[in-house]
Amino acid sequence: MKNPPYLIYSVSSGNSYYFRSWIPKDLRSTFGGLKEFRISLKCGIRSRSNKICRRLNKIVSEIYDQVRTGMKKLDIEDIKEILRIEIRKQILHAHHVDLGTNKWDESKKMMSLDSVKQRELLFRDTLKNDLRTYNQELDVKLETIFDSMGIVLEKDSVPYKTLRNHFINLNLLRFEWMKELIEETGKTDDDFRNSAQIKLSLELFPDLKDQSSDISSIEPVRTSISSIPDKGFGKTISVCGQLFYERKLLENTSPKEIQTLKQNINDLIEVVGDLPISNLSKEEVSKFITIQSKLPPNRKKSPQFRNLSIPEILKLKGVQPQSPNNVNKRLSKLSVFGNWCVRQGYINQSPFKEMKLSVKSSRPDRKSFSAIDLRKILNPDTYLKWTIYFNHPKNPSHKESRNKKLPSQPSGAKNQLPYYWIFLMGIFSGMRTNEMCQLRLSDLRKEKGIWFMHVEESDQTSVKTQNAIRKIPVHPQLTELGFIDYVGNLKRKKKDRVLWELTKGRDGYGKQVSRHYNERFLPELGIWEKYSKVLYCTRHTFINKLYSKNVDENIIKELVGHEREFTMKHYGGDPFSPEQLLDEISKVEYSGIKWNKLKI
């Protein structure tokens, strides 16, 4: 018998049923873009679960209706307010184009006029041949505006279609305003507002005088952005960027991440100019993408390019451009900035939304280590040779004929113990490489007689996401290999971290161990595959082993730091006891390994 759409059965989650609710499209923005949510019923009996789901479905439907009731419908006053803001933005954009024109060079002035006329022709051509697509783009913009104003979106209603047509007419008027300003006809902002009222047949600015009867009473044109009283629309990209960096500092964002965000915003300004943030459109973002796609990667760091301007680089021949994936990474960072500007009310919609290049992933997915791989790696003779007894080929202290005056352990010679523990910790905890490398001795704590490794965010440690904050029981096999005794010995020596020998780099503590496994150990065994078989794959190996042992999916997410189910995410707490977590993690076993010969 087929289950109703709100009832889901999952074998991987302990043979349990789930309640699922699809959030109506008109309410998704209210729920942060969420399309559905699920609740585990912790029940494997179909009839009982179906009964619970029917009741939950009725309750959730009532909640949706209550949310809708709290939202207002679009009326004439809302239309006027939206149009007033849009008119201010369009006038600002026209002034920006005018101020960017060299009026003292007649040829440049004509070029600017020709550019405006060409853009107008292209826009009219779009309206003529592809109005449907343009309306869809407008719908996205208006949906964001409606959401911010708490207005129900009814795309088929007459008021909505009227508003959408008004936006098209304002876009056409903008081209006229640009030409008026460039040609210095003497038209003022009030003239433009009045022309908008006439075109749209709406009284939007009651304070305007009858300009047709008294032209001499018109005030001079206001070109100062600060003179236009609108909510943040006069702020330039750089000004918004500075406010953005300050907010990120308050949110304890890492200095490295802030520097990356700042670099990408500066790159954007270098290409499109320091525009008012409200004038940054998809057209400018498209220009940025085109230019970036022709530039080399890391041009600000490269001695060959760092002192050259973008036009100078573009003139060079034989320059290897950055990959489309790299351009998309830049757009991801800029999207963080754009979304922040939307939340501050500076813009209605991020211009970076859905602007990424469509590229097929050239990087293969990471794989788990197979049973054969693990037997090769953990062969006692092989493993100890490449960890505890590893000799660094470029280190004089590891050569038998070394000069006795050399220090017994110069730089690079002290990482054998991290090489030994990192792989074992990975396959028995599923922790990310840097999570293991930064683990402090204080992060190992007992709870109800069970040792746990805590992944925490602090001044000394960082986490990938908030979900990554968690605790993982120390696997019994690690205890048998002497891990707890090793930690106790480090405490007596007053060390601070478990893998204290590793030094911190730009990306954390993991560089030295990752290079050892990915450039030496795994390639030597013929196991390493670029991107797909690397040290980090210990995490995938652990996760796949948990699934193969039918461990509850919620417990797996709890152990490895993945996003929790709806109820766990929103109600928090520790739903699983220490004993339960230890029992589940103890199911992870790897056969064919001589563990007793690996103990040091």
pLDDT above 90 (res 546)? yes
Residue 217: is its pLDDT beyond 50?
no
Identify the three-state secondary structure at position 445.
Answer: strand
Least Cα distance to 179 among 123, 98, 102, 279 occurs for 98
Q: What is the mean pLDDT of residues 291-297?
A: 89
CA 412 to chain CA mean position, Å: 35
Torsion, Cα of 256, 257, 262, 263 (10° steps): 70
- In three-state secondary structure terms, 188 is coil
Is the pLDDT reported for residue 232 higher than 70? no
Most confident option among 9-18, 56-65, 69-78, 429-438: 429-438
> For position 412, what pLDDT does the model report?
44
pLDDT of residue 592: 93
Two structure tokens written together for 440: 């402090």
Token pair for residue 225? 């952005």
56-79 tens-digit pLDDT: 888 888 777 766 665 667 778 878
- Tell me which of 101-110, 278-287, 390-399, 400-409 is least confident: 400-409
Q: Residue 526 — pLDDT band, cuts 50, 70, 90?
A: very high
Which residue in 54, 36, 46, 34 sits closest to 9, CA to CA? 46
Judged against a pLDDT cut of 50, whether residue 489 lies above it is answered with yes
Tokens describing residue 558: 């709890």
3-state secondary structure of 451: strand
Q: pLDDT tier at 139 (50, 70, 90 boundaries)?
A: confident
Cα–Cα dist 285/352, whole Å: 7
Q: What is the pTM of this model?
A: 0.48
Query: Which residues partner with 19 through β-bridges?
Result: 7, 39
What are the distances in angstroms from CA 93 to CA 178, 221, 227, 235, 472?
Answer: 8, 14, 14, 13, 55
Query: Using CA atoms, how far apart are residues 205 and 494, in angstroms rounded to an integer?
Result: 73
Provide the 3-class DSSP secondary structure of residue 288. Answer: helix
At a CB cut-off of 8 Å and minimum separation 6, what does 251 contact? none
Cβ–Cβ < 8 Å for 547, 537 = no
Rounded to a whole number of angstroms, the CA Rg of the chain reads 31
Give the Å distances, CA to CA, from 304 to 274, 298, 313, 510.
Answer: 26, 11, 10, 30
Token pair in block for residue 589: 């076993």
pLDDT(28) > 80: no
Q: Would the CA dihedral through 369, 373, 378, 382 be positive or negative?
A: negative
Which pairs with CB-CB distance under 8 Å and at least 24 residues apart come from 20-29? Answer: 21/56, 21/57, 21/60, 23/64, 24/64, 26/68, 26/152, 26/153, 27/64, 27/67, 27/68, 29/143, 29/144, 29/147
The DSSP bridge partners found for residue 151 are 72
Domains delineated in the chain: 7-69 (no CATH), 76-227 (no CATH), 237-344 (no CATH), 371-399+411-597 (1.10.443)
Give the sign of the dihedral formed by CA 33, CA 39, CA 45, CA 49. Answer: negative
Phi, psi of 177 (to 5 degrees): -65, -40
Cα–Cα distance for residue pair 533/541, rounded to 1 Å? 11
**DSSP β-ladder status, 7-10 and 16-22:** antiparallel
What is the chain's mean pLDDT, rounded? 82
Length of the chain: 600
Q: For 135-139, 472-476, 560-564, which range has the lowest pLDDT when averaged over its residues?
A: 560-564
* Residue 408 in this model has a pLDDT that exceeds 60: no
* More confidently predicted of 468 and 493: 493
| CA-to-CA separations, 374 to 308, 379, 479, 516, 549, in angstroms, rounded | 50, 8, 19, 17, 18
CB-neighbour burial class of residue 454 (10 A; exposed 0-12, middle 13-18, buried 19+): middle
At residue 317, the 3 state secondary structure works out as coil
For 88-134, give the secondary structure using H, E and C. Answer: HHHHHHHHHHHHCCCCCCHHHHHHHHHHHHHHHHHHHHHHHHCHHHH
Range from 12-26, 64-78, 149-163, 452-466 carrying the lowest mean pLDDT: 64-78
Rounded Cα distance, 428 and 416, in Å: 19
**CB under 8 A, 24+ apart: contacts of 340-344:** 340/244, 340/247, 341/240, 341/244, 341/277, 342/144, 344/232, 344/240, 344/243
Average pLDDT on 152-168 reads 85
DSSP-assigned letter for residue 400? T
CA distances from 10 to 17, 40, 428, 554 (A): 6, 10, 25, 12
Question: According to the model, what pLDDT value does residue 230 have?
Answer: 42
User: How much is the average pLDDT of 329-352?
Assistant: 90
Cα separation, 471 vs 464, whole angstroms: 15
Residue predicted with more confidence, 252 or 380: 380
Q: Is residue 186's pLDDT more than 80?
A: yes
H/E stretch holding 21: strand 16-22
| DSSP percent split of the chain into helix, strand, coil, nearest 5 | 55, 5, 40
**pLDDT of 396 higher than 60:** no
Separation of alpha carbons 593 and 600, rounded Å: 15
